[in-house]
Amino acid sequence: MTRRILIAGNWKMNLNLASALELVAGLQKEAAGVSSVDIAVCPPSLYVQPVAAALKGSNIGVGAQNAYFEKDGAYTGELSMAMLCDVGCQYVILGHSERRNIMGESSEMVNLKTHAVLAAGLIPIVCVGELLKEREAGQTENVVRRQFDGSFSGISADDMKKCVIAYEPVWAIGTGRVATPDQAEEVHLAIRKMIEKNYSKEVAEAVRIQYGGSVNDKNAQEILAKPNVDGALVGGASLKVEPFMGIIRSA
């Protein structure tokens, strides 16, 4: 089974409309010939529509950084999956550590959203990862297993195959402190075994597991060379054309 590498940029709460459109114009030009790697950018919700419109027909997909699980109704400030589909969105990042740790998002909430994303025909990128104190206490696998079991509860085997998991050790996000390729591979392999245990070897082999945490154009190649690393979720280095393209080229 060959899994296609997915390089996705998580812009977080950065850029403005003009700089977002400038960035995607640059990426579109530079990535025009890339066919062996899936590429996506995840702008702030407000810019999903103009970015998706600018990238229409290109080889760069668009994702949201969050959305709500209900179809419609009195949920002030939220966006539905159908609204994202409507404007050309293809991916939704779920359970990013900033949402889990700053907004208090639980795995139960991530699970409701994972079901809703899949029901809408979108691809969830579900983030899991341990805090530094949890790694130091030898709890990495337990933490990731709890997040995995909680986030994917009740997801069918067919749907699981469509999911992307991003392993993002929290201590490596935005800190410049990247996990070593061996540290990443160890957890990616553990996650693949969790999928095999809950589903089957076939499902485990199909699911893409990205690494995220201070990935840049200098360290990407070594991390992406690991057999269970199927791409990268990139924060800071996705905000400029050159470093992001460097990561894509490394893949």
In the complex, the residues that contact ligand PEP under the rule CB under 6 A are 10, 12, 168, 173-174, 212-215, 233-237
Is residue 125 a contact partner of residue 164, using CB atoms and an 8 Å limit?
yes
- How far is Cα of residue 191 from the mean position of the Cα atoms in its chain? 15
CB of 63 to ligand PEP, least distance (A): 12
Interhelix angle 107-119/140-151, nearest 10 degrees: 50
Q: How many CB atoms lie within 10 A of CB 36?
A: 8
CB of 216 to ligand PEP, least distance (A): 8
Question: Closer to ligand PEP at the Cβ: 116 or 172?
Answer: 172
* Own/partner long-range contacts of 153-157 (Cβ < 8 Å, ≥24 apart): 153/111, 154/111, 154/115, 155/114, 155/115, 155/118, 157/199, 157/200, 157/203
Is residue 121 a contact partner of residue 82, using CB atoms and an 8 Å limit?
no
Question: Closer to ligand PEP at the Cβ: 6 or 173?
Answer: 173
CB of 213 to ligand PEP, least distance (A): 5
Question: Closer to ligand PEP at the Cβ: 67 or 203?
Answer: 67
Question: Closer to ligand PEP at the Cβ: 61 or 199?
Answer: 61
Name residues whose C-beta falls within 8 Å of residue 45's C-beta, 6 or more positions apart in sequence: 64, 65, 66, 67, 79
CB of 97 to ligand PEP, least distance (A): 8
Question: Closer to ligand PEP at the Cβ: 44 or 235?
Answer: 235
Distances (CA, A) of 219 to 125, 177, 179: 22, 11, 10
Catalytic residues: 96, 168
Distances (CA, A) of 94 to 28, 72, 105, 197, 237: 25, 19, 10, 23, 20
Measured distance between the N- and C-terminal CA atoms of the chain, rounded to whole angstroms:
17
CB of 111 to ligand PEP, least distance (A): 20
Helix (H, G, I), strand (E, B) or coil at 76: coil
